[in-house]
């Protein structure tokens, strides 16, 4: 497997990111499983991949800090010496708050992780993948959200705005690097059953929202991973700048 493609999944320790890591390994990618603080969760993903015959490493690094990004890419350079795919998955929400309650600290933190982190990771990936830099090409998939178009009023307009930024960034970067062998796409998940809702103080959100979803149920992390794997794959060689809704019709 030493010549196989290498994928970095930010926030690969849990939820959608973990599902992407497991699915990518099944398809033959070697995987860097990034995490912020839950080392055991990342190591569990690595263990599952290894037990199934794949190759993975756990890589600590906060995408909201320059030191964290440097640590992530240094670890990949040392372990694999190449990079072929990036899933910009790490993302955070805050507890439900109106605009007049959102603190500057919360806003800066959200922008740093969801927007600056994704843009900086993409920049480091482009340096390694773009033919302009001597790379072999590659694919980037960004995690947007249905909130980018719905706006999340009364819950987290700041989070929605960060995902709107991801949509614009996806379109722009796709066009910027299209002639350099790098494809850039995004997925817009709707309500997916992961820990993110509990981390935002609404542990039952996925179940509570089911009646408002046309398909009447939340999605699974695996269903989002399938869409991401398609965008990373050679079945999508003419797809760039696309933003794919994975939202049960929402
Ligand atoms: P999740 O279950 O809360 O998992 C978040 C992951 O991101 C964890 O692996 C976490 O690492 C990592 N992470 C958080 N902050 C980080 C940081 N600063 N640096 C590096 N890693 C960090 O989230 P999820 O629901 O799978 O969501 C994944 C992505 O999909 C996010 O971008 C989210 O906005 C988007 N999305 C989710 C939904 C949904 O309904 N779930 C809907 C639309 C969009 P640790 O394990 O170390 O904490």
pLDDT of residue 148: 98
Q: Which ligand 1 atom minimizes the distance to the CA of 42? A: 46
- Tell me how far apart the alpha carbons of residues 179 and 164 are, in angstroms, rounded to a whole number: 25
Average pLDDT over residues 230-245: 98
pLDDT digits (tens, 9 = 90+) for 32-74: 999 999 999 999 999 999 999 999 999 999 999 999 999 999 9
Q: Does the beta carbon of 176 sit less than 6 angstroms from any atom of ligand 1?
A: no
2: Cα within 13 Å, side-chain hemisphere = 0
CB count in 10 Å sphere of residue 40 = 9
Quote the ligand 1 centre to 36 CA distance (angstroms).
10
In the structure encoding, which two tokens stand for residue 123, read together? 């920049």
Quote the ligand 1 centre to 174 CA distance (angstroms).
23
First to last CA, the chain: 40
pLDDT digits (tens, 9 = 90+) for 80-134: 999 999 999 999 999 999 999 999 999 999 999 999 999 999 999 999 999 999 9
Quote the ligand 1 centre to 133 CA distance (angstroms).
30
pLDDT digits (tens, 9 = 90+) for 192-225: 999 999 999 999 999 999 999 999 999 999 999 9
Q: Does the beta carbon of 94 sit less than 6 angstroms from any atom of ligand 1?
A: no
| 8, 14, 205: residue to mutate for ligand 1 pocket, most atoms within 8 A of CB | 14
Q: Which ligand 1 atom minimizes the distance to the CA of 88? A: 32
Q: Among 169, 161, 171, which Cα is nearest to 118's?
A: 169
Active site residues: 159
- Tell me how far apart the alpha carbons of residues 130 and 80 are, in angstroms, rounded to a whole number: 17
Statement: residue 1 has pLDDT above 90: no
| 8, 9, 10, 11: residue to mutate for ligand 1 pocket, most atoms within 8 A of CB | 11
pLDDT of residue 3: 78
Q: Does the beta carbon of 166 sit less than 6 angstroms from any atom of ligand 1?
A: no
State the Rg of the chain over Cα.
17
Per-residue confidence band for 2, with pLDDT thresholds at 50, 70 and 90: low
Please state which architecture CATH assigns to domain 2-246: 3-Layer(aba) Sandwich (3.40)
Higher pLDDT pick, 161 / 3: 161
Residue 165 to residues 22, 103, 114, 137, 142: CA-CA distances in angstroms?
28, 20, 9, 24, 11
DSSP letters of the chain? -TTS-EEEETT-SSHHHHHHHHHHHHTT-EEEEEESS-HHHHHHHHHHHHHTT--EEEEE--TTSHHHHHHHHHHHHHHTS---EEEE----------TTT--HHHHHHHIIIIIIHHHHHHHHHHHHH-GGGT---EEEEEE--THHHH--TTT-HHHHHHHHHHHHHHHHHHHHHGGGTEEEEEEEE-SB-STHHHHTT-TTHHHHHGGGSTTSS-B-HHHHHHHHHHHHSGGGTT--S-EEEESTT-
Q: Does the beta carbon of 15 sit less than 6 angstroms from any atom of ligand 1?
A: yes
**What residues does each domain of the chain span?**
2-246
Per the prediction, the chain carries an average pLDDT of 97
């Amino acid at each position: 497997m030493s010549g196989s493609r290498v994928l970095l999944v930010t926030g690969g320790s849990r939820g959608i990111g973990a599902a992407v890591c497991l699915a990518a390994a099944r398809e033959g990618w070697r995987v860097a499983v990034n995490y912020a603080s839950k080392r055991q969760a990342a190591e569990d993903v690595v263990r599952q991949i290894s037990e199934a015959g794949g190759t993975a490493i756990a890589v600590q690094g906060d995408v909201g800090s320059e030191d964290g990004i440097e640590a992530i890419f240094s670890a990949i350079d040392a372990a694999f010496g190449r990079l072929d795919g990036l899933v910009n998955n790490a993302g955070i929400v805050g507890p439900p708050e109106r605009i007049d309650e959102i603190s500057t600290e919360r806003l800066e933190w959200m922008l740093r992780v969801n927007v600056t982190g994704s843009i900086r990771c993409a920049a480091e990936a482009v340096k390694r993948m773009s033919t302009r830099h001597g790379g072999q090409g590659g694919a980037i998939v960004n995690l947007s959200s249905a909130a980018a178009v719905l706006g999340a009023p009364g819950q987290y307009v700041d989070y929605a705005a960060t995902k709107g930024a991801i949509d614009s960034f996806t379109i722009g970067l796709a066009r910027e690097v299209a002639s350099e062998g790098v494809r850039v796409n995004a997925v817009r998940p709707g309500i997916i059953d992961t820990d993110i809702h509990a981390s935002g103080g609404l542990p039952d959100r996925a179940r509570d929202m089911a009646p408002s979803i046309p398909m009447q149920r939340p999605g699974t992390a695996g269903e989002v991973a399938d869409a991401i794997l398609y965008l990373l794959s050679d079945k999508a060689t003419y797809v760039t700048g696309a933003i794919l809704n994975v939202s049960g019709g929402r």
